[in-house]
Amino acid sequence: MVNLQHPAHVYQQLMRDGHLSSQDLVSAFLDQIDRHNGQGLGLRAVLSVCPKETALAQARQLDEERRRGETRSELHGIPIIIKDAIVTHPCLGMTTTAGSCAIASLTAKRNATVVELLIKAGVIVLGKGNMTEFSGMKSNNTPMGWSGYGGQTLSAFRRPDLDEKDQPVSGGSSAGPAVSVAAGFSPLAIGTETGGSNVLPASMNALYGLTLPHRSVPMDGVAKIADFTDRIGLMAHNPRDLLSLVKILLMDTDSQGKDSSLDMTTKVADFGGLSVGVLDSQWGTHSSSDWKWGSQQVKQEYASVAEKLGALGARVTFPLRDPPEPSLLKAEGETLMTVCYHEFPGVLRDFIATNFEHDPNIRDLRDIVAWNQAHAERAMPEPYTTQTELIASLHNTMDQKKHDAAAAGLRHLGRQEGMAKMMRDLDLDIVLSASDAELISFSASAGWPVATVPVSKLTKNDQPWGMFALPRDGRLDLLARFLIAFGQHFGDSRGPKRPFEGVL
């Protein structure tokens, strides 16, 4: 029987040694999806699943290539779940919805380049993960992880002894991919990120997460909120697997080298010489979460991470004094949010036109709003009967000149002022914060990579939490080195128990 909680590189070694096949893996993960996605725990993490015969045919081909001594990548024969914001051609047997019933009615005509890169590397796309509809752009009353098409993604850490109001949550907007890894539907997942949409659900599901630098990965065929902010994100049990995905997806750019520097970081599993600044656990978090980030349990465990990093050779500053506030991130009177609301209608129009067969009734945001109103029973069921943010974006009044000036100003603030300046002034390689904190806004403004590492779970309800990590000057090599060392010394993610009862 296949252990469904191994990291991808462990499966790869088992296949290399002849103890496991890709067909075994595909069958085991598909069975687990059957067991707990729509049935069992009813996690609703996957919106559409690759048909078994299609997935097994891919696995057989990859097993045969391995028998001939041919492997395409470090993830040859490994399954993955991708966020349903990423387009897949119908030949793969899965729909593309962005969580929207309206988009689900369209027919995709291509694979996103990200999907083509995965296929070329021998990675099997096993399913499309549920998500907050339009990555949170549907309405101001839509919960994280809820979509009109797929319903509410549930956390795999839920407990039968808790009331609904006390249950752990999945996070969002890339909720389905994160829950899929935690629940043993796949060892790897891909999400997207505007401002936390990848690293937040990764942290809330006890995973390692990595959001890649802006424009370092092809974004064609991906449903975005804004070109200015949106990036591809990765999730896994172990950071080694994240870097294996990076090598597949990262374009040839000057962002610290595609292969050589990342190969080097996988061999350096210590913190020696790294300068790490740790923000107070409540910095940049909302006051409504003071019960969490201000609790004695979290403060002690949070501080223990800083202490252990120092003991392992890092130069640690904790807590960082007088850090910049997220309110700094405003240019021309505009914020990241208002820039995104201006861009969304055009981004959505291009996404529909480029990736789907023509439908005269669904061409742009105005059509989506009208379609939702005409199909309200499906698109806006009780209690989520509004589409406030789609309408707000549709009626956005910012002109292009104002947008361009604001975007340029925000990029400058992200890369030259605020957190970036503090890191240079204090000679910090990495800054850590709570995994609900606004460190992600500095990452989004700069277009820099950001990661999350798992730390612990709340005793009251088993809700996982972690720490965000931002590297100096957006250096992916520094972040990769930190992640590898953290994985080596703090261990793999620690998942839930209930999805695996009676399985292992």
Catalytic residues: 83, 173, 197
Rounded-to-integer distance, Cα 144 and Cα 158, Å: 16
Rounded-to-integer distance, Cα 224 and Cα 341, Å: 11
Q: How many CB atoms lie within 10 A of CB 364?
A: 16
Tokens at 155, concatenated: 């956390």
The secondary structure element, H or E, covering residue 303 is: helix 296-311
Rounded-to-integer distance, Cα 282 and Cα 174, Å: 24
The CA-based angle 385-386-392, given to 5 degrees, is 175
Tokens at 152, concatenated: 């509410």
Tokens at 447, concatenated: 């277009």
Largest CA distance in the chain: 63
Q: In whole angstroms, what separates CA 33 from the centre of its chain?
A: 20
Query: What phi and psi values does residue 456 have, to the nearest 5 degrees?
Result: -160, -175
Contact 138, 389 (CB under 8 A): yes
Tokens at 86, concatenated: 């990423």
Query: What phi and psi values does residue 71 have, to the nearest 5 degrees?
Result: -125, 140
- How does DSSP classify residue 86? B
Contact 153, 45 (CB under 8 A): yes
From 300, 215, 211, 210, select the one nearest 252 (Cα to Cα).
215
Rounded-to-integer distance, Cα 152 and Cα 140, Å: 15
Tokens at 79, concatenated: 């399954």
Rounded-to-integer distance, Cα 15 and Cα 200, Å: 32
Rounded-to-integer distance, Cα 161 and Cα 167, Å: 9
What distances in angstroms separate CA 352 from CA 37, 332, 408, one per listed residue? 28, 31, 27
Rounded-to-integer distance, Cα 294 and Cα 276, Å: 22
Rounded-to-integer distance, Cα 300 and Cα 458, Å: 12
Contact 115, 82 (CB under 8 A): yes
Q: If you write DSSP's letter for every residue of 123-184 in order, what string do you get?
A: -EEEEEE--SGGGGTS-TTPPTTEETTTEE---TT--TTS-GGGS----SSSHHHHHHHHTT
Question: What is the number of H-type helices and E-type strands within the chain?
Answer: 19, 13
